[in-house]
Copies of this chain bind each other. A is one copy, B any other.
Amino acid sequence: MSLSPLPSLPARADAHELATQLARAILSGHWATGAPFPRELDLCEHFGASRNLVRNALARLTTAGLIERSAGRGSWVCDIGEWHLLDPQMSEWLTGLDTPHPQLIREIHAFRLSAEPHVAALAAQSADAEDLSRLERAYRGMCDTAADSARYREHGEHDAIFHAAIYRASHNLVWRQMGHLLRPSILALIAQSHQQATTLDDSLERHWRVMEAIRLRQPDEARRAAAYILERTAADLGLSMRHITEHPLTSPKGTGA
């Protein structure tokens, strides 16, 4: 075995694409934490790419905290605690992953649960016309795609945009950057639980309440409404709310799948 012989991936001549494939292999748990990562020359041979291109791809994995490299010693896969979850590139890699890392989805949701209501309150204080316009466009997109169950993927995109717009409306650069983080979590939710019509209606109504509270500059109401959305999200994800809210992660370690 030695190197978990690289899931046979399609060979392509593009650093961005290669980095994506390797990153998704790591995010899917193809290598164990601390395991040695294939050497440059092996990757070159396997993918039929030049060393230059491979090094370019590996550099991206390094800046994302997925692997660690050292001259003379080689490369290893980093622990999940070192991954730069807030790197927008990471969000791109996480979305569209066939089997999203279950711990990551839970951690992201736990974060949203503790942060998003407050962000919504901030948004209600600071949102301008442009922010409201963004929210409305996303909301209409959600409505338009709710009827047709075949467009669930499209629906998820609008959903993600809606929540990112909330973060952006806080008019704080840090919170705004955090909006990227939501996409994988939301899309994973939509993908794994094809929601029914009644469920979607309920979800739409909860989103509408947040948007309206932001428009009317009612921070406390926005906070409540945002928490209200996340309750439904948690239910759809099959997460125990009490567990998360009271003890974000008191269980000893991995808590498995």
Contact = CB atoms under 8 A, between A and B. Distances in A.
Interface of A: 52, 56, 59-60, 63-65, 80-81, 83-89, 104, 107-108, 110-111, 114-115, 118, 122, 125-126, 170-178, 181, 246-250
A86 B171 contact: no
B59 A172 contact: no
B249 A172 contact: yes
A60 B115 CA distance: 29
A70 to B, nearest CB: 13
21 contacts: A59-B60, A63-B63, A65-B88, A80-B173, A83-B173, A84-B86, A84-B177, A85-B173, A86-B174, A86-B177, A107-B174, A111-B172, A111-B175, A114-B118, A114-B172, A122-B248, A125-B250, A126-B249, A126-B250, A170-B248, A172-B249
Contacts of A174: 85-86, 107-108, 110-111, 181
A129 to B, nearest CB: 12
B84 A248 contact: no
